Chain A
Amino acid sequence: MNSERYIGVFDNEEFFEKAVQTLKDAKIDIEELYMPVPVHHAIKNITGSSRLPVFAYILGWTAVISIFSFLYYTTVISWPLNIGGKPSAAYPSFVIVTLVLTILTVTIISLIVFTIKAKLYPGKPALVFDNRALDDKFLIVLTNQKTPDAGAILRQNGANEIIVKTL
């Protein structure tokens, strides 16, 4: 649905952070923030915490159990052609492969989940409201639909510029 976006451009990180807090306290719906460095308090106000570390932790234990079972199967159970002897079931030596492959599994699956959740893929066109957002400006984006006086509110909260864009 087309609507006007009001973009408050801030030069200063502290004013930006305070503005986000004020808007949040006033229950104004912020559509998105854009910043060249992560401003944690502002980010937490919008998104909360990520569950990715918890997911990775659970995934890690799942990987440990699966890989250890795989090693047990391949080294202890499945060895149908016995030429030159079968490797002994030396459990301590399973630890190293289990550790390394767990790290590999957690990394690869977490990366896949990260790119899906952050909606990132090679060649994706970026929705850039202002080219300076990854240089030295901090942006707060409000929609006119949800916030009727968006421009005035941003100005009151210390935005150095207001840009209006229709998407």
Chain B
Amino acid sequence: MYNTKVRGELIEGNKTLADVTSDILRPIEAPAPTWWFVAMALSSLAVLWGVYSMYLTVAYGIGMWNLNNSVGWGWDIINFVWWIGIGHAGTAFSIFLLILRQKWRTSINRAAEAMTVFAVICAGMFPALHMGRIWDAFFIFPYPNTRGPLWVNFNSPLFWDFTAISTYLTISASFWYLGMLPDFGTIRDRTTSKVRKALYGFFAMGWTGSSRQWQRYEAMAFVLGGMAALLVVSVHSIVSTDFAASVEPGWHTTIFPPYFVVGAIFSGFAMVMTLMIIIRKFYKLHAYITDSHLNATAKILTFVSLIMGTAYLTEIFIAWYSGGKFEIFTFFHNRITGDYAPQFWTMFICNAIIPQLFWFKKVRSNLGMLFIISIIINIGMWFERYNIIVTSLAKDYLPSSWATYSPSIVEVGVFVGTIGIFSTGVLLFFRYIPMMAIHELKTVVNPADKGDHNQFVN
């Protein structure tokens, strides 16, 4: 069994290779538990409400939303940035821990990558819906066209965003699927059901675990990992330029790219923690998601929370230090005090104060507390985006253009719908895809290969 001096056993209970296969495939091979059907029904209801709200948005236009001339971005862009932030951590988790040779990632990376794919799909819906005329979405593709021809504006952060998000989705999904090939092959060879054999066999793409396949697989994982690492840092930096490249007070700051990347990693890691606890508790996979895994994730969250707190304080300091009266107004009279103080303080307390409870070992080893704080962080991160977007737009340079904003029921419906899409995706993932990368866990159980397994393993 693989041991580290810092974390002890990464898989508890002296498991054999065969044990790993049967433990991880048990949720797929056994009938679905009752709670799964209940959760699926609730998620489907949320999806239905979301689809109806999206229908209203597309059929009647974005007049169905409560946006106005001043607050032109509301829940749509808040939710877009929130989802893309959550989606950010899956690949970040997988890649950074791979680069840092952290073997404890093997229990978690598959679920984190799944989370990425579903979250990015949810994120992508908001800019598409916000276009209003979604059927003209192809205008954004750079191709020789009959409209002039006019090329898209490659200097625009909004176009950078489009390329970054679509690339991120493609790469995350490819990375996730590539990692599943050996596991689909394992299910195909193990199952006695003809339907499963045919289905998983189709998706396994003829995987047999031959030396030639493994050699190319590892080389491909190496290339994809390198590409994804670059992308992880660039995607949320690019999302931040949607704001930072404008002149709105509170947006036009150079701290935005690192601030957004760290914030994204923060919310994504919190969501990974939520999923880890659900998997551990409901599927009884204590041997694979150990206290040590949760402890390590909580420590990362504590550290990132400190960075978030520093970023918030830096923004406030720079607003004061610059002496710009619009910046001072935005931060001191519109966020810290003023109309949007509740949203600001919710953000600050949820993201910078409450996660500091993880300094206490008792909190880090309490599953209930871990779960609650992981949810609180994501609530705080949602308010961070609200704080950035709505406060700056609602009260900018001209008091005559000041406006208030609250979402319409259709906007709420679209958001609830994306939560439904995300949870439906995650539930289907729990049911039909191995929640952990079986072949990677086996490298932790049986590291006879002189520690070389961590060379290129996806």
* A interface residues, Cβ below 8 angstroms from B: 12-14, 17, 32-43, 46-50, 52-53, 56, 71, 74-75, 78-81, 87-88, 90, 93-94, 96-97, 99-101, 103-104, 106-108, 110-111, 114-115, 117-128, 131-136
Contact = CB atoms under 8 A, between A and B. Distances in A.
Interface residues on B, range: 35 or more
Given A74-B151, A74-B154, A119-B206, A128 B189 contact: yes
Contact of A43 (B18, B151, B166, B214): B214
Given A104-B171, A126-B207, A97 B160 contact: yes
Contacts of B160: 96-97, 100
A106 B227 contact: yes
A53 B231 CA distance: 17
Interface of B is mostly: helix
Query: Nearest 6 pairs between A and B by C-beta?
Result: A124-B206, A50-B219, A136-B17, A81-B148, A52-B219, A74-B151
A47 B206 contact: no
Contacts of A117: 216
Interface of B: 16-18, 21, 142, 148-151, 153-155, 159-160, 163-164, 166-167, 170-171, 174, 178, 181-182, 185-186, 188-190, 201-220, 222-224, 227, 230-231, 234, 238, 241, 439, 442-443, 446, 448-450, 452-453, 455, 457
B211 A47 contact: yes
A123 B212 contact: no
A88 B219 CA distance: 41
Contacts of B207: 120, 126, 134
Nearest to B18: A136
B238 A96 contact: yes
B443 A37 contact: yes
A41 B201 CA distance: 28
19 contacts: A32-B210, A34-B211, A36-B182, A37-B439, A38-B457, A42-B211, A48-B215, A49-B219, A52-B220, A87-B155, A90-B155, A103-B227, A107-B167, A107-B171, A111-B178, A114-B219, A127-B206, A132-B189, A135-B190
B21 A118 contact: no
A87 B211 contact: no
Contacts of A108: 170
B227 A107 contact: yes
A92 to B, nearest CB: 9
A100 B163 contact: yes
A39 B206 contact: no
Nearest to B20: A136
Nearest to B22: A135
B212 A37 contact: no
Contacts of A110: 220, 223-224
